[in-house]
Amino acid sequence: MQAVLSSDYSFAQFRFLQRLLLVHGRWSYLRMCKFLRYFFYKNFTFTFVHFWFAFFCGFSAQTVYDEWFITLYNLVYTALPVLGMSLFDQDVNDAWSFQHPQLYVPGQLNLYFSKKAFFKCALHSGYSSLVLFFIPYAALSDSVRDDGKDVADYQ
């Protein structure tokens, strides 16, 4: 009984071990890899937008986002997709995990999260940050002139 109290997992019968390792272990590994890719993507994108903005504000301490958005970014805007993924994500059902052992090959070869996947994530976040910064910048760049007058002042 003392071993059960000090362990992370305990089983009433060893027949439950197969399902834990082959089904829930695979799902857990897949979810963890997706979470890490999403974590790096969202944080790199958020940081790269500030990097692009630094060139236009003279590398001052000015931020591109409102302070409330920065505060709530990790708490609200990016927590809900991770929560939804962790609750509902299953690529195949549990019966297929037992019947098709080739489903374990990508995990064994580190195809879900590797250096290649990390750099693809970083490139994707760089592209997303370019879109998130430069499209609004281009849309709003002609709205106010250098002398402070709005274009609508002359209509």
| 57-92 per-position pLDDT tens digit | 888 888 888 889 888 888 877 888 888 887 888 888
Domain ranges of the chain: 19-141
- Give the tens place of pLDDT for each residue, 129-146: 999 999 988 887 767 667
30-43: average pLDDT: 91
Q: Which residue has the tokens 């549990």?
A: 94
Inform me whether the pLDDT recorded for 120 exceeds 50: yes
Q: Which residue has the higher pLDDT, 6 or 67?
A: 67
pLDDT of residue 150: 67
47-63: average pLDDT: 91
pLDDT of residue 74: 82
11-16: average pLDDT: 76
Taking CA atoms, 16 is separated from 20, 42, 66, 96, 148, in Å, by: 6, 37, 50, 17, 71
Inform me whether the pLDDT recorded for 155 exceeds 50: no
Average pLDDT, the chain: 84
Question: What does the buried/exposed string (b/e) look like for 141-150 if buried means 16 or more CB atoms within 10 Å of the residue's CB?
Answer: eeeeeeeeee
pLDDT of residue 53: 93
What lies within 8 Å, CB to CB, of 50 at 6+ separation is 63, 64
Where are the alpha helices (H) located in the chain, listed in sequence order?
A: 2-6, 15-19, 25-56, 67-72, 79-88, 94-99, 105-108, 115-140
